[in-house]
Amino acid sequence: MPVYLYGMPGRIDKIMEIAARYDIPVIEDAAEGFGSRFDGRVCGTFGKYGVLSFNGNKMITTSGGGALICPDSASKQEIMFYATQAREAYPYYQHEKIGYNYRMSNICAGIGRGQMTVAKEHIEHHQHVQKMYEELFAGVPGITVHKQPSPRYDSNYWLCTILLDSSLRVVGEENAYAEAIVGAVGGAAGVTHGGGSVHTDCEPNTNVEGMRLFLDAAGIESRPLWKPMHLQPVYSGAVRFVNGVSERLFRQGLCLPAGPYVSDEDVEYIAEQIRGTVGK
């Protein structure tokens, strides 16, 4: 299950080559990669199935839920059978297999159809914001903008992310982790469990958390990168195959605003604030 993190395509050609060699089915997690392409081909269409997300923070939204990209009509028919309660062909409810109720409502589907009319515009906007970040942070010591390595990768840049060098000094970083978080950060939805400690066994570096706090005070919401799943306590006993890269990125990474309502002036303000707080 390759994941197109923050919309960036992976080497799905190599993955499919290995999967074919060992007869391994591939399900692409393109939840963040709606509209991204690799070698000109849409992400989510390489594997047996592709998964899209239409959550409220994605490139287009139906307020929740998502979609499954199927390779053929027979596969779609089988999937829909299980997704619609696995009912057998009788005039009454007859269940011979376990089914689920995973259908998207007509109202949500209607919203999604309307969102498709602005999908291209949204993707182009995110790509434009990414280009601005690349230009505004060019030559700034200690800050690396995550970008596609070659024209083969055509990212939607669902989120624009940067890495802060571990030696970079950020104004106010001495105040990082001074207080425990008591609720959800920024616009995160859901109910959080109180009583957490200030630190966990793996967390962003103090300069990253210091930057997040500085930007928050300036009216700019930012987030750390996703914490690796194998470091989540709930999966502490799970088997993992790791090399340290995901931990390093989590410690150094920060997500910056890039949505449809982020204007050129906003991007310039964000970059100005960040440049003004490093190296002092």
pLDDT exceeds 70 at position 173: yes
Query: What is the set of domains in the chain, with CATH numbers?
Result: 5-116 (3.40.640.10), 119-277 (3.90.1150.10)
Model confidence over 110-146: pLDDT tens digits?
999 999 999 999 999 999 999 999 999 999 999 999 9
- What local confidence, expressed as pLDDT, does residue 237 receive? 93
Q: Which two tokens stand for residue 241?
A: 């195959």
- What local confidence, expressed as pLDDT, does residue 147 receive? 97
pLDDT exceeds 80 at position 188: no
Query: Is-contact 36 12, C-beta < 8 A?
Result: no
Query: Is-contact 206 222, C-beta < 8 A?
Result: no
Average pLDDT in the chain: 94
Per-residue pLDDT averaged across 82-111, rounded?
95
Query: Is-contact 255 223, C-beta < 8 A?
Result: yes
Q: How confident is the model at residue 280 (pLDDT cuts 50, 70, 90)?
A: low
Task: Answer whether 0.85 is exceeded by the pTM.
Answer: yes
Residue 157 Ramachandran class (φ > 0 left, ψ -120 to 50 alpha, else beta):
left
Q: How confident is the model at residue 182 (pLDDT cuts 50, 70, 90)?
A: confident
Model confidence over 221-233: pLDDT tens digits?
999 999 999 999 9
Query: Is-contact 16 135, C-beta < 8 A?
Result: no
> Which whole-number Å values give the CA distances from 1 to 47, 50, 159, in the listed order?
9, 9, 20
pLDDT exceeds 70 at position 189: no
Model confidence over 42-92: pLDDT tens digits?
999 999 999 999 999 999 999 999 999 999 999 999 999 999 999 999 999
Q: CA gyration radius for the chain?
A: 21
Which amino acid, 63?
Answer: S
- Of 24-28, 55-59, 200-204, which has the strongest mean pLDDT? 24-28
- What local confidence, expressed as pLDDT, does residue 279 receive? 66
